[in-house]
A and B are shown apart, each in its own frame.
Chain A
């Protein structure tokens, strides 16, 4: 049982380059989230989705886009990377019921130079 899988695990980008982070879950979860983790800032929500075909902005959405074309996948895109987007990115998924915990991927360490 793979759970939540993020691809890639590490990436170095040059300023202005674009990339897509892939999150895949095999638990049939409705909800999926993208967070960034920076020192001293905790986890901040970038975008989230409550079901296939839906997306919504979180706390820090600027510079990112997302898509959820299939229930099991949630993609995070950076169209023109900036050094301020250097961070560790986490994807998470959960059932819609409020009592259920979110399951996290292993994280993606992104460096923009």
Chain B
């Protein structure tokens, strides 16, 4: 069985600062993928970044980067230079086999 744990129900950050959202996972599958999604108050799910279990380098997409530590089973999302529009719920998800499992999410609030 797969499990995703996000231990931060809420996070606060000031505009222009960096923030790290934590995600740990558990799986017995040697091949898996890790995803981060953003859900703004409007409700849609927006894909941000992907990391494969065999990828040698940490994934980056613009201001988003993924701090992947395979031995620790963690896949933390780093948002650099936070913007007011980054205020949203963030979900970590894992795909192993045919299912996609989500964590409970972290609410990020960016203040001016």
Structural contact, B99 and A48, CB atoms closer than 8 A:
yes
Chain B contact residues, CB within 8 Å of chain A: 6, 9, 31-33, 35, 43-45, 47, 50, 52, 91, 93, 95-96, 98-105
* Nearest chain B residue, comparing its CB with the CB of A101: B47
Alpha-carbon distance A8/B35, docked complex (angstroms)? 27
Residues of A within 8 A of B35 (CB): 101-102
Smallest CB–CB gap between B99 and chain A, Å?
A: 6
How many chain A residues touch B (CB < 8 A): the figure is 27
Residues of B within 8 A of A31 (CB): 98
* Nearest chain A residue, comparing its CB with the CB of B102: A43
Decide if A33 is an interface residue (CB 8 Å cutoff).
Answer: yes
Residues of A within 8 A of B104 (CB): 40-42
* Nearest chain B residue, comparing its CB with the CB of A59: B101
Decide if A58 is an interface residue (CB 8 Å cutoff).
Answer: yes
| Complex interface bits, A68-98 against B, C-beta within 8 A gives 1, otherwise 0 | 0000000000000000000010101010101
Other-chain residue from B9, B43, B100 in contact with A92 (beta carbon distance below 8 A): B100
Which of A50, A101, A102 has the most chain B CB atoms closer than 10 A to its own CB? A101
